[in-house]
Amino acid sequence: MMCGIVGYIGEKKASPILLESIKKLEYRGYDSVGMSTIDDRIKILKGAGRIDDVHKRINFHSLNGNTGISHTRWATHGGVTDSNAHPQTDCKGKIAVVHNGIIENYLELKEDLIKKGHKFSSETDTEVISHMIEDYINSGKSFREAVLETSRRLQGLFAFLAINEKEKDKIIASKHRCPLVIGIGSNENFAASDVVSFLKHTNKVIFLDDDEIAEITKDSCKVFDITGKQKNKEISQVRWNSEEAQKLGHKHFMIKEILEQKETIDRVASHDRKSIEKIAKMINDAYGVFFVACGTSYHACISAGYIFSKITKKHVNIFLASEFPNFSHFLTKNTLMIAVSQSGETADVLEAVRVAKEKGVKVLALVNVMGSSLMRMSDYSLLLNAGPEICVLATKTFTSQLALIYLLAYTCAGRYEEGKKGLEDVSKKVKDVLSEENIQKIKNLANSLKDEENIYLIGRGLSYSTTLEGALKLKEVSYIHAEGLAGGELKHGTLALIERGTPCIAIVPENESRHDILSNIMEIKSRGGYIIGISNRNEDVFDFSIIIPDVEMHPILMIIPIQLLGYYLALERGCNPDFPRNLAKSVTVK
């Protein structure tokens, strides 16, 4: 389950704070929402649907009390129904639980509980948690002990928050392989799947590690290991500010985040030189470098293959994280794994890292979210510094990943200054790509393509990875089928699909592959294809052209018009760009 959970305990009324906070986590799941607070007793409101719609129906603000928990769901176990929405409770409705993750052994636990007389009211795996806590409390354990005992018996992935009517002054949190962070405020504390949820109230945080339990009151947070021993935890300060996690007048996070690329590349360029040089040395010294990632981050890794080959003359291996375990026998103690992830919570990436660490491999994380699981599991990390990315689609973090990969490749080649200057140059040119004139042009293009069923993208060399990422952007946000391919592959099959008017986006930078990609374009054109050229100059063969400045690091610029095209296609087709159907931002299941 890729859900969002949040808890609040303090002096203020909990429900408005929880509602605002859970909305910030809607990117993690958005098929149902629920909330529970403790007033004189535990009260719960929940329902299937988007947060705003459910709130209109059932008014979360009607819940009173200064302690509460809330949840936004992306269903795995049990359909999208009101009863499957969280919180889930024990038999008497005195304990409420919100949960992110999957309890793999829930069927056998449930069977046990049913034999003991527990009555279940949902199809979720989560409900076993509340009943188990109830069971342990009935056998004489304290609330915290009951959560500890329960956590010990759960298999799978989980982060959950529990409240108990009989111990009103606390929230108990438990974490195992799903994100959970505690926010430390003044006379109020928070717990959530993501720091953006409570950033408005505090940027002081405690990152829980796996198999830790936190007992949170309004003025304290005690952390225990799974044996019940209390631990000393450091309070960290997160550098993001709450403004960055808001739309700030934009209609959607997607367009806000696309436009933020005017600043985010510069932030990579100004990374501390010493740490870049230290990491570059590690890459140079490694015997085998393995990049692993999923989705958009994987496309950045494909670019890394070309970038390292060209700039550093070094071969690097690129793997989809979910496929990586099949190749683990290539690992030695001198291998370096570079795990690339925006969220740092992607289950497939964490699993690949776990496999690598078992073999004694050192892991470097390129990650956007400070304190994320990936960052804490890795031996070294470099932050993308792109600020919070809320839209389910990755946009600004993709170009930051490319920028960081470029900077590392140049530094490995002993050309740090050149890499930094290249990024500063690109950063200025991002502003040209995002000019009003270009945006208007792309809006018109989206209008003319809105009824298409297929779009093809072709490129060669580094632009091949741009086509893969471009295709992913178009399909996940507009639901138009899109396929990216290397120009040379067209004639090996896909050319059969080109008909009169079939739209094809061609990425045509000013480099050694220009001649060849123009020949590939001719292959499409002569079958009647409609050519949209993204290039530094116009070509007669283009039916529509988007002109992009000529730079060495062209992949950073070339993807931006396609991100914009995806956004405006989504609007033309009535899709919500921030929340594509069936997808969630943080993919915490394998």
Report the side by side order of strands in the sheet with 221-225: 88-89, 95-103, 156-164, 171-176, 212-216, 221-225, 230-231
Spatial separation of the C-alpha atoms in residues 207 and 366, rounded to whole Å: 19
Does the annotation count 313 as an active-site position? no
Exposure b/e, 395-411, CB count within 10 A at least 16 = b: bbbbbbbbbbbbbbbbb
Q: Nearer to ligand M6R by C-beta: 37 or 368?
A: 368
A 10 A CB-CB count for 107 gives 12
User: Does residue 295 belong to the site contacting ligand M6R (CB under 6 A)?
Assistant: yes
Residue 587: CB minimum distance to ligand M6R, A = 5
Nearer to ligand M6R, 541 or 583 (CB): 583
Contact between 347 and ligand M6R by CB under 6 A: the answer reads no
The C-alpha atoms of residue 102 and residue 491 are separated, in whole angstroms, by 44
- For ligand M6R, the closer CB: 188 or 476: 476
If one counts every other C-beta atom within 10 angstroms of the C-beta of residue 187, the result is 10
Considering the complex, state which of residue 124 and residue 395 has its C-beta at the smaller distance from ligand M6R.
395
Find out whether 142 and 215 touch, Cβ atoms under 8 Å.
no
User: What DSSP element (H or E) covers 46?
Assistant: strand 42-48
Name residues whose C-beta falls within 8 Å of residue 332's C-beta, 6 or more positions apart in sequence.
287, 288, 359, 361
**Of residues 176-235, which lie at the interface with ligand M6R (CB under 6 A)?**
none
| Residue number with the smallest Cβ distance to ligand M6R | 295
Stretch that binds ligand M6R, among 289-297, 416-424, 441-449, 555-563 (CB under 6 A): 289-297
Question: How many contiguous H segments (helices) and E segments (strands) does the chain have?
Answer: 17, 25
CB of 348 to ligand M6R, least distance (A): 8
423 within 8 A of 269, measured Cβ to Cβ: yes
Catalytic residue among 23, 94, 256, 585: 585
CA end-to-end span of the chain, whole Å? 10
Residues 367-396 that bind ligand M6R (CB under 6 A): 392-394
3 belongs to the catalytic site:
yes
- State how far the Cα of 17 lies from the Cα of 63, in Å rounded to an integer: 11
Tokens standing for residue 160: 């959950």
Paired residues of 162 in beta bridges:
97, 172
Give just the sign of the alpha carbon dihedral 526, 530, 535, 536: positive
Q: In the bound complex, what is the minimum distance in angstroms from residue 349's beta carbon to ligand M6R? A: 5
Minimum CB separation of residue 583 from ligand M6R in Å reads: 6
CB of 324 to ligand M6R, least distance (A): 13
**Residue indicated by tokens 């409705």:** 93
Residues 461-480, interacting with ligand M6R (CB under 6 A): 476
Site residues for ligand M6R, window 569-588 (CB under 6 A)? 583, 587
For ligand M6R, give the closer residue by CB, 413 or 477. 477
Stretch that binds ligand M6R, among 73-81, 92-100, 292-300, 537-545 (CB under 6 A): 292-300
CB closer to ligand M6R out of 12 and 475: 475
Stretches 27-35, 250-258, 342-350, 353-361: which one binds ligand M6R (CB under 6 A)?
342-350
Check if the beta carbon of residue 127 is closer than 8 Å to that of residue 150: no
Size of the residue set binding ligand M6R (CB under 6 A):
15
* In the complex, minimum distance from the CB of residue 342 to ligand M6R, in angstroms, rounded to a whole number: 4
Question: Which of 89, 126, 312, 343: binder of ligand M6R (CB under 6 A)?
Answer: 343
Closest CA to 331 of 349, 314, 354, 348: 354
Tell the smallest beta-carbon distance from residue 574 to ligand M6R (Å).
20
Given 341, 381, 463, 502, the residue binding ligand M6R (CB under 6 A): 341
> Quick one: which segment of 170-178, 212-220, 293-301, 526-534 binds ligand M6R (CB under 6 A)?
293-301
188 vs 260 by CB, closer to ligand M6R: 260
Contact between 102 and 589 (Cβ < 8 Å):
yes
Q: x/- binding map, residues 527-566, to ligand M6R, per CB under 6 A?
A: ----------------------------------------
Choose between 151 and 586: whose C-beta lies nearer to ligand M6R.
586
Q: Does 342 bind ligand M6R (CB under 6 A)?
A: yes
Please tell me whether residue 484 binds ligand M6R under the rule CB under 6 A.
no
- DSSP classification of residue 376: H
Q: What span, in angstroms and rounded, lies between the C-alpha atoms of 258 and 568?
A: 12
Classify strands 317-320 and 289-293 as parallel, antiparallel or unpaired. Answer: parallel
What beta strand segments (E) does 313-433 contain?
317-320, 336-341, 362-367, 380-383
The catalytic residue among 3, 178, 301, 391 is 3
- Scanning 294-302, 481-489, 493-501, 540-548 for contacts with ligand M6R by CB under 6 A, the matching segment is 294-302
503-508 and 530-535 as β-strands: parallel, antiparallel, unpaired?
parallel
CA gap 119, 117 in Å, rounded = 6
Binding to ligand M6R (CB under 6 A) within 492-531 occurs at none
Q: Is 346 in the site for ligand M6R (CB under 6 A)?
A: yes
For the chain, how big is the Rg over CA atoms in Å? Answer: 25
Q: How far is the CB of 575 from ligand M6R (least distance, A)?
A: 14
In the β-sheet with 317-320, what is the strand arrangement from edge to edge? 317-320, 289-293, 336-341, 362-367, 380-383
Name the minimum Å distance from CB 345 to ligand M6R. Answer: 7
Closest distance of CB 586 from ligand M6R, Å = 6
Does residue number 294 form part of the binding site for ligand M6R (CB under 6 A)? yes
Residue 21 interacts with ligand M6R (CB under 6 A)?
no
Which residues have a catalytic role annotated? 3, 585
Interface with ligand M6R by CB under 6 A: which residues?
294-297, 341-343, 346, 349, 392-394, 476, 583, 587
